[in-house]
Chain A
């Protein structure tokens, strides 16, 4: 009986085996890349909004404090989207005829909400809480990016679980002094730009809170230099920083024992202790975000 398959079929068979394997692997890689792609995660995408609100203009240009609009960020899981009233505080007087602001004025006149599209939209089974992050030394820009440089709001990070866990497993990489929470330009200490921190007396509450750590970029021992980050920024945005610096430096300089930090790792470790950040095992436990 003659052979049905030619000898070359062996090679074809082997090749198709290899090919199948490759296709499976390629498919896996494709799917993995696809679910990390901005199309899937919305990262970097600018949604159509009724008003092309520019954070850049309002934050960098005008120096509005984040909490002027996002009022409940320190007190609630939800940072808050400003009511139309907040817009109208100013826009009842300036740009009162701007075409761009028609939806705002319409909302004010009719009592209908301005319908924004959510930019940072976590799945419903994730219970993120702004309050605890902001009170434990996580700045806005850590997650939201340089909002002050975004003419149109977009999602800087993937907001995927992997990304959350990166920090929950090692919070030190992102911790910053409480005074720098709303500082968009904060980049952490370095050799060139060290940060000095000290622990204040726990006079008011009796229990230490994040507010009891005071930090400064100016050498508290009176040396020159430092303050580079704040120099880049308009003075208004740093009112809080300078005030607390002044308070820390002037009011009780003798008591405070400043420590110098030249790297984010060091500062992070120090702040983990001071803020009593839970350990990675606790922070990455499922029930922290899912219930």
Chain B
């Protein structure tokens, strides 16, 4: 149907597995254990007396050798495999392991103890999970969640489906905060000058200091906190400010909302948040706003859901059209109908020119290519035509000028009140954070700071490089640090207080629409942590008031309005939100003046700073799931890279994985380079959050630290960087190359150097199918017409067909709705006890994810179109894997599931070889962690923790199916549609995944499968997949359709 060339990005990166091989030979590429061995570490530890093991180890960590050892030691866990093992050595090991495996199977089952309760908790039914509502606090608005708790251990976090704003769905970070709770590297003690101390000692010291400072009004007391999200904490601070008027609070997050707030103050005279209503918008323009990627963008969940709801083509709404102008490649950009890659510094001029064209400001010039100008004109026309039904969304990481332009355009087009409303800021104490930090550093340098209390922040790592925060902080009299890990800041602080996780403590937070959720503890603090509430409360008259009482008192008036407070309080806890606390739209009458933006020369090299999709600003660096799961778009696992366009890569004479030294304003950082399709030229994107030195055993030492070149003057992007090739290479792993088969030109390569089986099959066998809205209207059956799109008849098989009398489970994935955000992947890890394998094992293709997001790029390297396809076990009715298993370990169930019987599996891996979808994962080693105590608490008790030598794959969340079946069977009824929700479906913020019984004519999944757009991937194999995809439809603007209609 389309002559466009699909390519499955891997190919053009030219470095699939071969690169790994080459790379290993090079000096310093693979973390080779050199110098310090484990024995030597032990020897050094023995020399140190009177210190905690881990504490001492961390001191040692300063040596580069130790970093390397950490890097290579932990991820592979106990059973490290040295690749360069000789054949003889291998045979010896194989023989030994065979003997051991045999023996292990023959040991008599040991006696198991039972530890019953003394007094059983009243509501507990062991074996049945309980659900509690709470909220995951986040600087861009809390995510109200429903936490699954098994015997009072939180084991799964999902969006609260009844919450009026979120309505279920979540995101990778929220999902992974579970592992953050059970992180064995969490700080477990109060430390005073590096020695274990206790909370009481700190309290005494803190209160004594406060008493001393009472007279001077708290002069010299400085609180440096990450963005305060809790209204109660803000209220506590306001009271403390009255008691100590000279004490200062500084909030600083490296990923902050300074631009948005600066703009709202300029336009409205006050801090305001914009709430975009995509359910009412037919045309959406994003000005560098990555609103479909993750919770980092304020209001992500609702934006993603509303965006997807307008693309279901179910006749209930008009389909929307998304334009994206962006400075690097994001999932939002790749979802757009029309995408324009602009350097970050060109976006303000683009925005100003657009505002001028739409009557939102003075007309302004935009210097760009002809394509960019054409794009601008077409967007302007389309927006104008849809005035009142369109919306312009500015990016969080763009300048205030872009935000002002967006406000002006939305005002000029009459969108305010319809597709966008402005409300008060979601965080109770909004400030311009970078300015505040600068003044704090000035005060530190002036010696004015007596006590610096750092709350849940890691400024030594995150502060702009030019502020030399570490040096300045040293001038404070006493440094107190409250955080979950003994991180870069903690080791320099006098006091370190181990903080309680949000699942362990009382607090409150607002969702982005303002709805208040009470944060309630799900588990007793594992290490007796403390919260910011307690530290601030110490400044008040009743210093011992607990966080629980503080939160209750704070909401007592609001909850006493109608009826009994206790009842309303319990209802708020039960439901997960307080009714009627959503913000009301503000009167946004101000006029936005758009400052003139100069466009720098297009030759000047530019650096763009962005938060990592998973690690955010680095605070989640020690969460194995987030490190390992490949980032959207780039599919880089465990590392970050300096991302640039292929054009720039070529112009600078670089190859991927080359290490370059990037310098700007006298600061420099070394980073490996990586080319990303669709990246603007002469621009380098650096993601924050990697290169941690003290994240913990998982997160330390991966990637590079982009904060080293980030300055307070240019925290978003800077122009005029220089780049120097160092001659080194650094190996990072791009997982999308793992499931690629290479084949030569003569077996189907198109002769252009693209030999990817997947790339070719994407065309030949139509793995990805899509049409424009117009084509779809003309031919709704487009997904089934053309070469490679026919579905074979069921009886065209040597194998007899199965009968499915009752239930037949199936899944439908809407490619129009999938935004490639990875929420499903993390959710799957949490639900199914998937193992983290570590960077090295990822490098050899052993990542254990059951569901992956395949990104198929298409078209020009500089301006690609892309398609996200979640790929998981297709549960084929004619499954190739089942027919080759010699031991019947993968079998077909009467309901059509293709199920794994782990205890039968002997690890031949024939099934994986025979799987056309490459969704089976093999435990080459003991990847599951059987040792770490805290991780045992996290496991889903209804899913086997797989051992070495066992194949595994998506089970359609069999444990959930069985649980629903048992409930239905108990009541002698059929399972209701929607009763079984798979983990991926539950996490999906856009409801792209639907699961159910395809034998039920009224089920949602059946109806989706009956749509003409539904197709099976590689269905021409006659695998008869149970997982089907709903083909994409793009609402193309005919004026920009060039190149699409080939």
Q: Mask for B936-961, Cβ within 8 A of A = 1, else 0?
A: 00000011100000000001001100
Q: Are B893 and A132 in contact (CB under 8 A)?
A: no
Q: Mask for B92-126, Cβ within 8 A of A = 1, else 0?
A: 00000000000000001101111111111000011
In Å, the complex CA distance between A178 and B118 comes to 31
Q: Mask for B804-827, Cβ within 8 A of A = 1, else 0?
A: 001000000000000000000000
A residues 119-171 in Cβ contact with B at 8 Å? 121, 123-125, 127, 129, 131-132, 135-136
In Å, the complex CA distance between A176 and B195 comes to 66
- Given the interface pairs A84-B117, A124-B944, the reply to whether A131 lies near B894 with Cβ below 8 Å is no
Interface flag for A52 (CB, 8 Å): no
Q: Are A117 and B111 in contact (CB under 8 A)?
A: yes
Interface flag for A118 (CB, 8 Å): yes
- Given the interface pairs A78-B127, A291-B943, the reply to whether A123 lies near B903 with Cβ below 8 Å is yes
Q: Are B973 and A72 in contact (CB under 8 A)?
A: no
Q: What chain A residues lie within 8 Å of B112 (beta carbons)?
A: 117-118, 121
Q: Are B894 and A114 in contact (CB under 8 A)?
A: no
Q: Are A129 and B966 in contact (CB under 8 A)?
A: yes
- A290 CB → nearest B CB, Å: 5
Kindly identify which residue among B113, B125, B128 contacts A115, using a CB–CB cutoff of 8 Å: B113
Interface flag for A230 (CB, 8 Å): no
- Given the interface pairs A125-B903, A282-B894, A291-B942, the reply to whether A135 lies near B970 with Cβ below 8 Å is yes
Q: What chain A residues lie within 8 Å of B114 (beta carbons)?
A: 81, 115-118
Interface flag for B962 (CB, 8 Å): yes
In Å, the complex CA distance between A131 and B120 comes to 19
- A63 CB → nearest B CB, Å: 23
In Å, the complex CA distance between A39 and B128 comes to 33
Kindly identify which residue among A75, A205, A286 contacts B971, using a CB–CB cutoff of 8 Å: A205
Q: Are B966 and A132 in contact (CB under 8 A)?
A: yes
Kindly identify which residue among A81, A136, A286, A288 contacts B116, using a CB–CB cutoff of 8 Å: A81
- A215 CB → nearest B CB, Å: 17
- Given the interface pairs A207-B973, A210-B972, A281-B894, the reply to whether A77 lies near B127 with Cβ below 8 Å is yes
Kindly identify which residue among A75, A83, A132, A278 contacts B128, using a CB–CB cutoff of 8 Å: A75
Interface flag for A76 (CB, 8 Å): yes
Q: Are B955 and A291 in contact (CB under 8 A)?
A: yes
Q: CB-nearest residue of chain A relative to B894? A: A282
Interface flag for B465 (CB, 8 Å): no
Q: CB-nearest residue of chain B relative to A205? A: B971
In Å, the complex CA distance between A285 and B127 comes to 23
Q: CB-nearest residue of chain A relative to B891? A: A286
Q: Are A125 and B944 in contact (CB under 8 A)?
A: yes
Q: What chain A residues lie within 8 Å of B944 (beta carbons)?
A: 124-125, 290-291
Q: Are B120 and A287 in contact (CB under 8 A)?
A: no
In Å, the complex CA distance between A125 and B905 comes to 12
Q: CB-nearest residue of chain A relative to B957? A: A291
Main secondary structure of the interface of B (DSSP, over half): loop
In Å, the complex CA distance between A290 and B253 comes to 47
Interface flag for B902 (CB, 8 Å): yes
Interface flag for B901 (CB, 8 Å): yes
- Given the interface pairs A78-B126, A117-B113, the reply to whether A84 lies near B118 with Cβ below 8 Å is yes
Q: CB-nearest residue of chain A relative to B113? A: A115
Q: What chain A residues lie within 8 Å of B117 (beta carbons)?
A: 83-85, 113
Q: Are B116 and A131 in contact (CB under 8 A)?
A: no
Q: Mask for B963-1003, Cβ within 8 A of A = 1, else 0?
A: 00010011111000000000000000000000000000000
- B115 CB → nearest A CB, Å: 4
Q: What chain A residues lie within 8 Å of B955 (beta carbons)?
A: 287, 291
In Å, the complex CA distance between A111 and B897 comes to 46
Q: Mask for B994-1021, Cβ within 8 A of A = 1, else 0?
A: 0000000000000000000000000000
Q: Mask for B616-632, Cβ within 8 A of A = 1, else 0?
A: 00000000000000000
- B999 CB → nearest A CB, Å: 14
In Å, the complex CA distance between A127 and B966 comes to 12
- A81 CB → nearest B CB, Å: 4
Q: Are A287 and B118 in contact (CB under 8 A)?
A: no
Interface flag for A198 (CB, 8 Å): no
Interface flag for B1037 (CB, 8 Å): no
In Å, the complex CA distance between A78 and B118 comes to 18
In Å, the complex CA distance between A184 and B145 comes to 46
Q: Are A118 and B127 in contact (CB under 8 A)?
A: no
B residues 157-174 in Cβ contact with A at 8 Å? none
Interface flag for A80 (CB, 8 Å): yes
Q: What chain A residues lie within 8 Å of B970 (beta carbons)?
A: 131-132, 135-136, 209-210
Q: What chain A residues lie within 8 Å of B966 (beta carbons)?
A: 129, 131-132
Interface flag for A107 (CB, 8 Å): yes
In Å, the complex CA distance between A285 and B125 comes to 28
Interface flag for B740 (CB, 8 Å): no
Kindly identify which residue among B108, B118, B943 contacts A85, using a CB–CB cutoff of 8 Å: B118
- A33 CB → nearest B CB, Å: 15
Interface flag for B899 (CB, 8 Å): yes
Interface flag for A225 (CB, 8 Å): no
Q: Are B128 and A285 in contact (CB under 8 A)?
A: no
Q: What chain A residues lie within 8 Å of B115 (beta carbons)?
A: 113, 115
- Given the interface pairs A286-B901, A291-B943, the reply to whether A276 lies near B116 with Cβ below 8 Å is no
Interface flag for A261 (CB, 8 Å): no
Q: Are B113 and A290 in contact (CB under 8 A)?
A: no
Q: What chain A residues lie within 8 Å of B118 (beta carbons)?
A: 83-85, 107-108, 111-113
Q: What chain A residues lie within 8 Å of B127 (beta carbons)?
A: 72, 76-78
Kindly identify which residue among B126, B942, B972 contacts A207, using a CB–CB cutoff of 8 Å: B972
Q: Are A276 and B959 in contact (CB under 8 A)?
A: no
A residues 239-291 in Cβ contact with B at 8 Å? 275-276, 278, 281-282, 285-288, 290-291
Q: CB-nearest residue of chain B relative to A285? A: B893
Q: What chain B residues lie within 8 Å of A72 (beta carbons)?
A: 125-128
Complex A-B, nearest 6 residue pairs according to Cβ-Cβ distance, in ascending order: A78-B127, A76-B127, A83-B117, A113-B115, A77-B127, A287-B899
Report 18 cross-chain contacts, Cβ distance below 8 Å, ordered by A residue.
Answer: A75-B125, A76-B126, A77-B127, A83-B116, A85-B117, A112-B118, A114-B116, A118-B112, A118-B114, A125-B902, A125-B903, A125-B944, A135-B970, A207-B972, A208-B972, A282-B895, A287-B958, A290-B903
Residues on B lying within 8 angstroms of A by beta carbon are 108-109, 111-120, 125-128, 806, 891, 893-895, 897, 899, 901-903, 942-944, 955, 958-959, 962, 966, 969-973
Residues on A lying within 8 angstroms of B by beta carbon are 39-40, 42, 47, 72, 75-78, 80-85, 107-108, 111-118, 121, 123-125, 127, 129, 131-132, 135-136, 205, 207-210, 275-276, 278, 281-282, 285-288, 290-291
> 5 other contacts beyond A84-B119, A207-B973, A287-B897, with CB at 8 A cut-off?
A75-B125, A116-B113, A121-B109, A125-B944, A282-B806
